[in-house]
Amino acid sequence: MDKRVERKKLDLTSRYQALTEDLQWTTSYQPMDKVFPYARFEGIRVHDWSQWHDPFKMTLDVWWRQQSDKERRVYAVLDAFAQNNGQIGISDARYINAVKLMLQTFAPLKYALHRALAHSARNLPGNALRTATQLQATQLLRHSQNTMHAASVYNKYFNGMHETPRWYEQAWYLAPVKSFADDAASAGPFELLVAISFGFESLLSDTLFVPLMSAAAHNGDLSMAPAGFSSQSDAARHKQAGITTVKFLLQQDSSNIDTVQHWVDKWFWRSFRLMPMVAMLQDYMVPKRVGSWRESWDTYVEAPVEALFAELAQYGLKKPAGWQAACAAKDHLSHQAWNAFYGYGDALAFHTWVPGNDELEWLDRKYPNTFDRWYRPRLAYYAQRETAGQRFHNHSLPMQCQVCQQPMMFTEPGDGRWIAYRETHHHDESFHFCSDQCETIFTNEPEKYVQAKLPSHAILQARKNLPTDDALQASIADLGVVIGRDNGEFNGSEDDTNFTEWGGGQDMKEAQL
């Protein structure tokens, strides 16, 4: 009888080595510089690519197995939710606007970043980092699809979800998200990694996943919650890979330190300028609340980032330049964002409202230093106007920051009274910014940011003859948004009345009794 041949099994490290670094070869038909044309132009010096190791030692075959397991689990839950009419069991139809905003911002953002990362992966000369970046790109594509599929069940029953990819490309209030992705995608491969894997994923993405997905579950959204948790386990890996990459670049050559610091400063701030939407989702758009944005910031950002940079100090990296300003904004951000969006309620593709009395009390308890003084009086005024049948509308066109493209809605750090406003001249033209940080980003690369297409300017140019608020509304109506049905006041909207008619939210109420 033949003796069975025992196949020698490689240990994890050798297997990882064989399936990543060992696949590297030096090209002979073409010089390596031509095969990797973007490897040098950012000035980053790498002497030994074999020093970069994926902290999770992920290889392609293991990765496929894990991802397909996750997919099977997520889609089993999504199917069950749809078949059991799960949309009736959510806490309150206002919650659906949180789903709409996620669908308009984070699903397309992840899609755009997957493309950018795939491009970066192609252009990185190190095989292990290239493999990890390629896997990350594909995961972002999966997350984008999961979010869209999780939201699709609601699209059958609620308004305002029908053309989200187009809105992401063209709606004025989604410009900050699109401009963030475009800026990252037009950077070199190393800057992109520092921007996305480190600046966005390592420093800020936990504020997005963890509290929002708990909030989704808490509000009976058993469609978005499992999709979010499925992404979270990948995001944890991206986060570690981002930190490993930054350490690797800093260790490879001391001349990399200044460049990496510059990117960390820039991309922390650009990522932070996506946070107003996350903050208002958490504090205003989720009817049953698990915690405030400020609490999330303290737990998921402030404490871990302080600890991370204490560790990175030995590599020569300092905390991002905008760190203090970002921490000072934690008491204001959600309120300023909701105030701006409420005022422009007819120019969005979701509904806005004034929170109920118990919600105002909650906000006061969570923001004892700022809410009563600066923000509650405005909301009281809006409520009064609404009761009198004269809902408040902001009739001006929003002025947008040349870099982050957010409306100028932020106040000076530590002072709730004055809107922060900065102005710079470049080649006889004036440019306006929401903060010192955005102004610095511009002055470091003016030739990049003078090209930014600001929606407010485009709207003014296209509709010179209309009053400004009509122009803003017309711009959103051109994108297929039905004014008054897909946006405006939530109370009395079609979403509101339908949900009540269907007996929606009863499960939640019974569970509370």
**Which stretches of the chain bind Zn ion, using CB under 5 A?**
401, 403-404, 434, 438
Beta bridge partners of 424: 431
CA gap 495, 254 in Å, rounded:
57
Q: Is 175 or 404 the residue whose CB approaches Zn ion more closely?
A: 404
| Encoded tokens for 73 | 């689990």
Helix H or strand E segment including 351: strand 351-352
Q: Is 297 or 442 the residue whose CB approaches Zn ion more closely?
A: 442
Q: Is 243 or 404 the residue whose CB approaches Zn ion more closely?
A: 404
| Encoded tokens for 401 | 């920051």
Q: Is 436 or 489 the residue whose CB approaches Zn ion more closely?
A: 436
- Shortest gap between Cβ of 63 and Zn ion (angstroms)? 37
| Encoded tokens for 316 | 């020569």
CA gap 480, 499 in Å, rounded:
23
Q: Is 376 or 432 the residue whose CB approaches Zn ion more closely?
A: 432
What contacts 243, CB < 8 A, 6 or more positions away? 198, 202, 308
CA gap 350, 481 in Å, rounded:
9
- Shortest gap between Cβ of 279 and Zn ion (angstroms)? 15
- Shortest gap between Cβ of 114 and Zn ion (angstroms)? 25
Q: Is 251 or 411 the residue whose CB approaches Zn ion more closely?
A: 411
- Shortest gap between Cβ of 125 and Zn ion (angstroms)? 34
- Shortest gap between Cβ of 9 and Zn ion (angstroms)? 54
Q: Is 124 or 403 the residue whose CB approaches Zn ion more closely?
A: 403
- Shortest gap between Cβ of 42 and Zn ion (angstroms)? 24
What number of CA atoms fall less than 13 Å from residue 86's CA on the CB side? Answer: 23
Q: How many CB atoms lie within 10 A of CB 262?
A: 16
| Encoded tokens for 364 | 């006061």
| Encoded tokens for 289 | 């609340």
Q: Is 59 or 435 the residue whose CB approaches Zn ion more closely?
A: 435
Rg, Å, the chain Cα set: 24
- Shortest gap between Cβ of 415 and Zn ion (angstroms)? 17
3-class DSSP state for residue 426? strand
- Shortest gap between Cβ of 421 and Zn ion (angstroms)? 11
What is the crossing angle of helices 224-252 and 60-83, to 10°? 150
* CB contact at 8 A, 257 and 248: no
